[in-house]
A = this chain, B = another copy of it.
Amino acid sequence: MRSSDQILDTLCGFLRIPSVSTDPAHAADVRRAAEFVRQHLIGSGLSGARLIEHTGNHPLVFGEWLGAEGKPTLLLYGHYDVQPPDPLNEWTTPPFEPAIRNQNIYARGACDDKGQTLILLEAVRRLMDRDGRLPINVKFLIEGEEEVGGEHISALVESKPDFLKADAAVICDTEMFAAGIPTLCVGLRGIVYGELTVTGADHDLHSGVYGGAAPNPIMAIAEILTALKDRDGHILIPRFYDHVVPPSQDELDAWHSLPFDEKEYLKTEVGSTTLTGEPGFSVIERTWARPTVEVHGIRGGFIGEGAKTVIPARAVAKLSMRLVANQDPAECTRLLQEAVAEVCPRGVTAEYKAIHSGAPSLVNTDNEFISKSAAAMAEVFGRKTVFIRSGGSIPITGLFDKHLGIPSVMMGFGLPDDNLHAPNEKFHLPNLYLGIDAMVKYFELLGR
């Protein structure tokens, strides 16, 4: 059995690869990370492990062990790509030089999702090293485009469902409700992410000479954004809420019994003066069961040092919607585009283009894959497993459901303060080791 130090060494090697899938400059690094995963699978005895290529996309890593006749087959999912590390100056230690402080390992991708992907890899490694075989059958499908919309894996799932045939998927890419509480995530928000481009004059103008007569695209973007969502967080896009399914009373009651302290959440996780969002919904409801419209970045005009008195010709905002069951990404994109056209101020043109999207998902919990996962984690962590949802999006769960007809078991070992997508991302090392233990236990329970 590999020691903690060996596993940690492996994780550090994985984290040192800046596999930023969104940035074409890192394409070679992304491929290096894929190869890293493939070599790990080969080291576990999955000698046929290989990269699945798709023109213009980052490769998928596939590997399988199917020697447990009559036993269930799990499709094991993780991703080896990471978010961009900016803003770099806010990292305590460099994002691609893993550093350990207080039992946490700090690096971009530490939690999302290299650390968690390694739980799947090391669980299989341990069983193969110990027994020379697995108690169940597995198919690894580790992608390199999770942070850019997963076009490649989507195409594969849609086009080759037989190749990926399994009884359930295990996704290691979510988080625990709180430290020490084993958690299964059974619902995710969907997403539509895109760019809103507003164009005014055909060139930049002097704001003194033309101010008062010429349209200003930055101001226009502000007018459009405020016409899409009010100050209470209520979305003003017509018919946007039509298909929203509210959580059941049972689910609401369960959420209400979770150990959640809004003041603590504000202070330790968010760190603003107050929380915001729709009145009449709890924080948990607002982030798990309500859709959002959110702007992620904006640029336009002069942003250098000092002053430039210009009315810019153009401004661009990165704008997304998070969706909940049963909102449809394509329909919501259309509604947003119609709303943008409707509220666009005079003198400018506005266009919203989606970059990627994924459907929301709600997992059916009435099966042994969920119940045994909950049991395995409860045993390892010594505490009852809770069922939660997440505000994030893992579009692949919807595709596994739709095209493979299988439930996704989301065993997550991240912590709420792991700074996903933000500077100083970390992963709590005890969760890495307990996660491997829990995954091994889960495979064993399923193989009985």
Taking beta carbons and an 8 Å cutoff, which residues of A are in contact with B? 22-24, 83-84, 86-87, 90, 147-149, 175, 189, 191, 193, 200-216, 218-219, 221-223, 225-226, 229, 231, 233, 269-278, 283, 286-287, 290, 292, 294-312, 315-318, 320, 322, 345-349, 355-356, 390-393, 416, 419-424
Task: Give A148 to B226 CA distance when docked, in angstroms.
Answer: 32
Contact A273 B392 (CB under 8 A): no
Q: 28 A-B residue contacts at CB 8 Å?
A: A83-B308, A84-B302, A86-B308, A87-B204, A90-B203, A148-B306, A149-B307, A175-B209, A201-B270, A201-B271, A203-B423, A206-B422, A209-B390, A209-B391, A213-B270, A216-B294, A218-B298, A219-B229, A222-B222, A273-B346, A273-B348, A273-B349, A274-B347, A276-B345, A298-B299, A298-B301, A298-B315, A310-B421
Asked if A272 and B348 sit within 8 Å, CB to CB, the answer is yes
Q: What residues of chain B lie closer than 8 Å to A276, measured between beta carbons? A: 213-216, 345-347
Query: In the bound complex, do residue A208 and residue B392 qualify as a contact, i.e. CB atoms below 8 Å apart?
Result: yes
The reply to whether A278 and B212 form a contact with Cβ atoms under 8 Å apart is yes
Q: How far is the CA of A290 from the CA of B210 in the complex (A)?
A: 11
Interface centre among A210, A290, A416 (most CB of B within 10 A): A210
**Contact assessment for B300 and A298 in the assembled complex, using a CB-CB cutoff below 8 Å:** yes
Contact A274 B307 (CB under 8 A): no
Chain B residues near A311 (CB, 8 Å)?
A: 294, 296
Which residue of B84, B287, B318, B346 is within 8 Å of A274 (Cβ)?
B346
Do A209 and B309 touch (CB < 8 A)?
A: no
| B294 and A393 form a contact (CB under 8 A) | no
| Residue of B208, B223, B277, B296 touching A189 (CB-CB under 8 A) | B208
B312, A296: Cβ atoms under 8 Å?
Answer: yes
Contact with A226, one of B223, B269, B416, B424 (Cβ below 8 angstroms): B223
Complex contact A207–B322 (CB within 8 A): yes
Q: Give complex CA distance A318, B301 in Å.
A: 9
| CB pair A271 B226 closer than 8 Å | no
List chain B residues, Cβ under 8 A from A348.
272-273
**What 4 pairs across the A-B complex have the smallest Cβ distances?**
A208-B392, A297-B301, A202-B271, A22-B306
- Beyond A222-B222, A346-B276, A347-B272, whether A308 also contacts B296 by CB under 8 A is yes
Given contacts A90-B203, A218-B295, contact A212 B290 (CB under 8 A): yes
B347 pairs with A308, CB closer than 8 A = no
> Hey, which chain B residues are within 8 Å of A273, CB to CB?
215, 346-349
Q: In whole angstroms, how far apart are the Cα atoms of A320 and B317 in the complex?
A: 21
Residues on the B chain within 8 Å of A349, using CB: 273
Q: Is the CB of B298 within 8 A of A307?
A: no
Contact of A223 among B218, B231, B346, B356 (CB under 8 A): B231
A211/B301 in contact, CB under 8 A = no
Closest to A265 in B: B213
Shortest CB-to-CB span from A270 to chain B, Å, is 5
Contact of A208 among B206, B303, B390 (CB under 8 A): B390
Contact A225 B215 (CB under 8 A): no
Nearest chain B CB to A351 CB, angstrom units: 13
Selected from B208, B274, B298, B420, the residue in CB contact (under 8 A) with A322 is: B208
- Within 8 Å CB of A269, what residues of B? 210
Chain B residues closer than 8 Å to A421, beta-carbon distance: 204-207, 308-310
- 6 additional A-B pairs beyond A207-B294, A213-B276, A213-B277, beta carbons within 8 Å, are A22-B307, A203-B419, A205-B421, A212-B233, A218-B298, A275-B347
Whether B148 pairs with A307 at a CB distance below 8 angstroms is yes
